Amino acid sequence: MSAVATYALRLGDDALVLSQRLGGWITRAPQLEEDVALGNIGLDLLGQARTLLTYAGEAQGAGRTEDDLAFLRDEREFLNLHIVEHPNEDFAVTMARQLFFSTWQLALHQRLVASTDEMFAGVAGKAVKEIAYHRDHADQWVRRLGDGTEESHHRMQAGLERMWPYVAEMFAVDDLERALVEEGVAADVSELRGEWDQHVDAVLREATLTRPDDLATPPGGGRRGVHTEPFGYLLAEMQHLHRSHPGATW
Amino acid sequence: MTQDQRTAPDRFQTLVDNDERIEPRDEMPDAYRKTLIRQIAQHAHSEIIGMQPEGNWISRAPSLRRKAILMAKVQDEAGHGLYLYSAAETLGVDRSELLDLLHAGRQRYSSIFNYPTLTWADMGAIGWLVDGAAIVNQIPITRCSYGPYARAMVRICKEESFHQRQGFEILHTLSHGTPEQHAMAQDAVDRWWWPSLMMFGPPDSGADQSKGHTAQSMAWKIKRFSNDELRQKFVDMSVPQAGVLGLTLPDPDLHLDDETGHYRFGEIDWSEFFSVLKGNGPCNAARMQHRRAAHNDGAWVREAATAYAEKTRARTAAGAA
């Protein structure tokens, strides 16, 4: 598989899997406005995923469509980060996940706008506007929950602790990405950490929350297709119907 | 009797008679206000409970395109709920009060949502039949005498007709797909057809006759057509569409009456309707349980938002002082 196809799959899988998780909030959100907002964010991510998976299929050159890639790959072939596959749990965990991921994704796409690859640059150009809204939505909720009631403060702090172990993986670069960075196709995620810290720290400070400690050996492996246990169930649910009717059109 | 007390109802009736709109600040009879609150709330509740049977398939949609369309659709329904609760709020009630009444089982939602969505084809049948019936019911409400309700309905009807076309397209694709997909589509239509006819409410006459507020609502121009008139309109619209879909409707008595140009249909089992209405449908308990759980689980989030808003106001005030 070409490096470009792999890179498109990595970013596309991040968006697809988080969209699938966020879809789980619809009809279960704390208020109607959040059913709409979380649905909106999920839809934006699904749109990004569809373009990126279609591009990955083209770059692979084997005639695979977005649906072939979404529904017919197994767990070990998905290349998303662990953070996006983490179950929703409560609203605080979901907001911690969204703050961490959207802050990272925004910084990444702000750089990809200048990618030498026209498709990545194009996706990023549209995505930065969407992600800026996703990040702002998460910022506001983390502040409200952190500086709200005693219970919400406690839950939000717990949400941060729960999601913190998955942060380090977002900034890890492997040989494949290093080569693409050289070519000007990819952005170097290891360079995003300072900016990410600055934004997240500022939100946590305002929210009266404490930044969790880094783990000595944080988990990872999503980019190599090594995932967490809950991910298999996500795929089983997402892929079941499509796989039950091989070759059918929907 | 003061001048004001005499003229207020007169002005109300004149506006209604002249097909003009009653606005929130206008005086209106208490019974009119109560009827509208009940109807708009029921409509809003139907939108948000109606998210559940379709939300049930978001995670399993068979293609990414269908997943996107379904997510957008369920999101539209949440949006409809929001406009409708806002329309009800112009009559002096609060969304939270209305939700409490729903959760306490003291206000209703459309019985159709007490049926389960068992296969993907149900997404097509709901769009084609349930949204189709909703449109027939709702288009006349765009001319309802109460302004905020009428205007909310204009926007909702536009989105509903989009949903109905999407449902039709899902069924068309399935019906013309593999034999298994065709069977799935036919099964869904078989299950949703009769409950869709019941969406227009009990008949205008006979033993099962509506004991509702039809006559008064007609006089107030909240309702413009009777249940049976609307039901007939829906059947006339749907029969030819079923032909295009290549699907049959589960009614051996269905036939075109050459004299009137209307399709005659078989007897509706009103005992099923009343039973579901009383709470004995397949999903009544599950729908309410899901709704209450979402509301209760989210209570700490709403409380936090309120507390944060108060703190922010206090800080702003302290800063300004």
B187 burial (CB, 10 Å; 0-12 / 13-18 / 19+) is middle
Q: What is the pLDDT of residue B8?
A: 63
A162/B216: higher pLDDT: A162
For residue B294, the chain A residues in CB contact (below 8 A) are 27-30
First CA to last CA distance, chain A: 28
* Shortest Cα–Cα distance, A179 to chain B (Å): 31
Q: What φ, ψ does residue B146 adopt, rounded to 5°?
A: -90, 115
Judged by CB atoms closer than 8 Å, whether chains meet at A46 and B48 is answered as no
Asked if residue A200 is part of any domain, the answer here is: yes
pLDDT band at B2 (very low <50, low <70, confident <90, very high): very low
Q: Which residue has the higher pLDDT, B2 or B291?
A: B291
| Cβ distance of B304 and A148 shorter than 8 Å | yes
Residue of B nearest to A22 (CA): B59
The CATH number for A157's domain is: 1.20.1260.10
Which pTM was predicted?
Answer: 0.96
> Is B301 at the interface with chain A, CB within 8 A?
yes
For residue A66, the chain B residues in CB contact (below 8 A) are 64
Phi and psi of B230, rounded to 5°? -65, -40
Q: Closest to B62 (Cβ–Cβ): which among A28, A152, A241?
A: A241
pLDDT confidence of B3, banded at 50, 70, 90?
A: very low
- A27 closest CB neighbour out of B66, B294, B308: B294
Contact of B113 with chain A, judged by CB distance below 8 Å, is answered with: no
CB contact under 8 A, B75 and A39: yes
Spatial separation of the C-alpha atoms in residues A49 and A78, rounded to whole Å: 13
Residue A27 has its nearest CB partner, among B64, B290, B305, at B290
A21 lies in some domain = yes
Q: Which residues of A touch B79 (CB under 8 A)?
A: 36
DSSP per residue over A155-212, as a string?
A: HHHHHHHHHGGGTGGGG---HHHHHHHHTTSS--GGGGHHHHHHHHHHHHHHTT--PP
Helix (H) or strand (E) holding B264, with range, is strand B262-264
Count other Cβ atoms within 10 Å, centred on residue A183: 12
pLDDT value for B1 = 44
Whether A36 is in a domain gets the answer: yes
pLDDT at B7 over 60: no
Does residue A72 lie in a domain region?
yes
Domain of residue A150 covers 3-211+223-244
For A102-135, letters b (16+ CB in 10 Å) and e give bbbbbbbbbbbbebebebbeebbeebbebbeebb
Question: Which positions in chain A touch B58 (Cβ < 8 Å)?
Answer: 23-24, 26
Q: Is residue A249 part of a domain?
A: no
Is A190 within a domain?
yes
Which chain B residues have a beta carbon less than 8 Å from that of A250? 62-63, 65-66, 120, 173-174, 177
Residue A217, domain member (yes or no): no
Instruction: Report chain B residues whose CB lies below 8 A from the CB of A42.
Output: 71
- For chain A, 250 residues long, give each residue's pLDDT as a single digit of tens: 799 999 999 999 999 999 999 999 999 999 999 999 999 999 999 999 999 999 999 999 999 999 999 999 999 999 999 999 999 999 999 999 999 999 999 999 999 999 999 999 999 999 999 999 999 999 999 999 999 999 999 999 999 999 999 999 999 999 999 999 999 999 999 999 999 999 999 999 999 999 999 998 989 999 999 999 999 999 999 999 999 999 999 9
pLDDT tens for B152-210 read: 999 999 999 999 999 999 999 999 999 999 999 999 999 999 999 999 999 988 888 86
Q: Does B68 touch chain A (CB under 8 A)?
A: yes
> Which residues of A are less than 8 Å from B311 in CB distance?
147
The pLDDT tens digits of the residues spanning A64-106 come to 999 999 999 999 999 999 999 999 999 999 999 999 999 999 9
For residue A225, what pLDDT is reported? 98
Residue pair B308/A148 in contact (Cβ under 8 Å)? The answer is yes
Q: Number of folded domains in chain A?
A: 1
CA dist., res. B170 & res. A163, Å (int): 39
- How many other β-carbons are positioned within 10 Å of the β-carbon of residue B278? 10
Contacts of A27 in chain B (CB under 8 A): 51-52, 55, 74, 290, 294
Q: What token pair was written down for B288?
A: 């309410």
Percentage of chain B with pLDDT > 70?
96
Query: In the A/B pair of chains, how many CB contacts fall below 8 A?
Result: 139
Rounded to two decimals, the ipTM of the complex is 0.98
Residue A127's Cβ-side half-sphere holds a number of Cα atoms within 13 Å equal to: 30
Instruction: Locate B172 and state its tokens.
Output: 């068309």
Question: Per residue in B223-268, pLDDT tens?
Answer: 999 999 999 999 999 999 999 999 999 999 999 999 999 999 999 9
Q: How many CA atoms lie within 13 A of B65 on its CB side?
A: 10
In a domain, A250, yes or no: no
- Residue A248 distance to chain B (closest CA, Å): 7
B308 touches chain A (CB under 8 A): yes
CB neighbours of A217 closer than 8 A, spacing ≥ 6? none
